[in-house]
Structure 1
Amino acid sequence: MKLVIPKQHGAWAMLIIPFLLNMFASHPKWGHLFLFFAWLFFYLATYSFLQMIKLRKQNLYLKSFILFLIFALLFVSVPLFNEPSLFYFGLSLLPLFCINVYYTKTKNERAFLNDVIAIINFGIGGLASFYYGDHTIDETAILLFSLHFFYFFGTILYVKTMIREKHNIRYKYYSWLYHVGIVFVLLLSQYYAFAVAFLPSAVRAIVLYGKKPKMKTIGMIEILNAIYFFFILIMFEI
Structure 2
Amino acid sequence: MKLFMPKQHGAWAMLIVPFWLGVVASGFVWEHVPFFLGWIFLYLATYPMLLLFKKKKIAFHVKWIVIYLVPALLLLLFPLFERPSVVYFGLMMLPFFAINAYFSSKNKDRHIINDFSAIFAFSFAGLASAYLPAGAVSGEAMLVFIVSVLFFIGSTFFVKSMIREKKNSNFKLISWGYHAAVTVFWIIMSQWLIAVAFLPSLARAIGFYGRKMSPIQIGVAEIVNSVLFFIFIAVHLI
Q: Report TM bin, short chain.
A: over 0.9
Alignment match, 2:79: 79
SS in 2 for 1:33: helix
Alignment match, 2:139: 139
1:67 matched to 2:67: yes
1:194 matched to 2:198: no
* Range 115-124 or range 185-194, more displaced: 185-194
Distance 1:223 1:75, change over 3 A: same
Name structure 2 gaps, 5 residues minimum. none
Give per-residue Cα distances to partners, 1:77-129, cap 9 Å, x unaligned.
11111111012111121121111110000001111111111110011111110
Counterparts of 1:22-171 in structure 2 under 5 Å?
22-54=22-54, 56-171=56-171
Contact 2:24–2:237 (8 Å) recurs in 1: no
How many Å apart are 1:55 and its aligned residue? 6.8
Contact 2:140–2:237 (8 Å) recurs in 1: no
In 2, distance between residues paired with 1:234 and 1:206?
25
Contact 1:27–1:134 (8 Å) recurs in 2: no
Alignment match, 1:226: 226
Letter in 1 for 2:128: A
Letter in 2 for 1:8: Q
Name structure 1 gaps, 5 residues minimum. none
In 2, distance between residues paired with 1:164 and 1:84?
42
SS in 1 for 2:223: helix
Give per-residue Cα distances to partners, 1:171-204, cap 9 Å, x unaligned.
1000111112222222232211011100010010
SS in 2 for 1:3: coil
| Total equivalences in the alignment | 238
In 1, distance between residues paired with 2:185 and 2:85?
36
SS in 1 for 2:216: helix
Distance 1:155 1:55, change over 3 A: farther
Question: What's the TM-score once normalised by structure 2's chain length?
Answer: 0.96
How many Å apart are 1:41 and its aligned residue? 0.6
